[in-house]
Chain A
Amino acid sequence: MTRFFSFHKEYFDNNGDQGNLSVLKFFLGQQSVSFDEVSELASADFVLVGDASRAALREYGKELLDLAPALQARHANGLPTLVIGSSYELLASEVDWLETPKRGSVVSEFRTLVTDEAGPVLGYRNSSILDLDFVRSGDFIATTLFGPILAKNPTLLDQMLLACGGTSADWEPKMKNWVESIRELAPTHH
């Protein structure tokens, strides 16, 4: 059994970040690995902190920062975690265990980032961060790329599935074709 924790999933889903859980559940279910929600971060195998509106961050930002020590421990141990979009931006501006990114004006666009461990990673971003779009420590990932990035990045998905006690995804051919078509359309950003 794999347990996941999602920080205020009803509010931290600005751009469909909770879809990453649907994707993991979809494939883990095929592999007969149960994927159940827990209410405490400390007891979770996989953690998702999605992108949120400024209103949600005003309301829950302090609570998120209170989780920083637990997230730091996951970062240090490379445990499977996705911290996305504005949540990543908030944490990166407040903690010293994430490198402080350079800031500029907001750029909204699709990007394909070339990463060491997962190859090209595609996603949409809407961020003032100039560098450090994708920060990784083991299976801990903090990124500006929001939305269902696991659905569109099969290598990264396989790594997360393995980290969650599953095996590589067994894609239906037509779904794989759709993913490839999506990836072909996106520009590469180094």
Chain B
Amino acid sequence: MRAILAVLIGKFLRFLVRLVRPGGGSALPGVVANKLDPNLLSNALRALDHGLVVVSGSAGKSSTTSYLVTLLETHGLRVFTNSSTANIRQGLVASVLKQSNWRGQLDCDIAVLELDEGHGAVLARELEVRLAVLTNVLSDQLDRFSDPDDVIAMLKQIGSAAKAVVLNVDDKNLAQLEFEIPVFGFGVSRGTVNTPKAVYALNFGSHPTIPVFAEVGHGGIVLHSEAETRFETTSLPEHQALNLSAAVAALYQLIEPSESIIRAVLMELKPVFARNERVEVAGVDVTIRLVQNPTSFQLNLDELLPDQTPLMFMAGRDIHDPSWLWTVDFSRVKRVDIVGGFNAHELSLRLAFAGVEVGAVIQDASAAADSFLALSGTGHTVLFSADAMRRVRRHWGLAK
């Protein structure tokens, strides 16, 4: 009865919110439904035949989740998942409200959820986790987590709550974690240095050797099980190939997959939401790239091509402490045509001291987006933080 009341009120609130704010997200329905029935989420997930997979870590959560969902769906499973903007409790409950029936039941076989590191450590204790996928530990969100040591402890909690763990063996911070459950590794083959590598949080300790189950290298992914199996992939930057190897490693722990299906999927991968995604807005082709921390900003900058102009960089309200912008190397950039978002002045100052020419500075995300589309050029490219991305996508009518 409690669940029914929570779902009905939650779904009604969701309907009202979307009337007021079409395409926009809101935490309110999830907050209210969770208050009315704190077990709504765990009960909905517990009923799934193939259980719950959680994906957590500093970066790569969304891509890994997206790849794993695609792989599972192509194998015929009905997958419940969440968007990257709904990876804390109220967002997850809101996702249940969106997809469940009036009793809070999901018509799915398995759940693959991206979990924020901090919230995930708490949630994992109350959810029955079949498999945890741990991507990496970066020096990220220090205003929230204080120190990478705290993130490592949170990921340890998430992994310990699961029946098995898939983790990035290249990241010493994860390789050092000791679990009393089966551990399956993924990583980059030694000697593969095609694209810039992720920079994991500082760790001066030893690097334990963990057997690699799925390995990125030489245009594909190699599985090391009883026999060695090689899958070719579409061309991917190394950090995305790493996320894909995590998804493939996870897939093998969940089902007995078909090699032919995996081969077909890996050769037709589409860009993940806002990761070098190409969209058309008012007749203008725009490439959009989400940057969330020093590492992702740097990786995206390093992938920029000289003809990708005009450029717009945006730093939104989600960057609580913009100091980390000063750890990004902007030396490859000559000019940024528009700097936008709530923290536009912080970003502009950083760029100016790095010797980058700054065109217009427009704090309002919508106004910045409009001015950007009006610029001439054929390589319109935006790098933005999550808050600025949400505002621009909504303004451009791209919100889901």
Contacts and interface: CB of A to CB of B under 8 A. Distances in A.
B365 to A, nearest CB: 16
A16 B144 contact: no
Contacts of B345: 178-179, 181-182
Interface string A141-152: 000001110011
Interface in A167-190: 172, 174-175, 178-179, 181-182
Given A53-B201, A126-B143, A19 B350 contact: yes
A58 to B, nearest CB: 7
Contacts of B320: 108
B125 to A, nearest CB: 22
Given A55-B201, A108-B146, A16 B323 contact: yes
Contacts, number: 91
A179 B349 contact: yes
Contacts of A59: 204
A146 to B, nearest CB: 6
Interface in B313-359: 320-327, 345-346, 348-350, 352-354, 358
Interface stretch (A7-15, A30-38, A73-81, A93-101): A7-15
Given A55-B148, A146-B323, A178-B361, A11 B202 contact: yes
A22 B354 contact: yes
Contacts of A19: 323, 326, 350, 353
Interface string A126-149: 100000000000000000001110
Interface in B124-166: 139, 142-144, 146-149
A55 B324 contact: no
Interface in B297-325: 320-325
A166 to B, nearest CB: 16
B142 A14 contact: yes
Given A23-B353, A26-B353, A58 B204 contact: yes
Interface residues of B, number: 30
A103 interface: no
B147 A15 contact: no
A6 interface: no
Contact of A175 (B147, B321, B327, B349): B349
B42 interface: no
B203 interface: yes
Contacts of A22: 326, 353-354
Interface of A: 11, 13-16, 18-19, 22-23, 26, 53-56, 58-59, 106, 108, 110, 124, 126, 146-148, 151-152, 172, 174-175, 178-179, 181-182
Given A23-B353, A55-B204, A126-B321, 15 more contacts: A15-B142, A22-B354, A54-B148, A55-B201, A55-B203, A58-B204, A124-B323, A126-B143, A152-B349, A174-B358, A174-B361, A178-B349, A178-B352, A178-B361, A179-B345
6 contacts: A53-B148, A108-B143, A110-B321, A124-B143, A174-B358, A179-B349
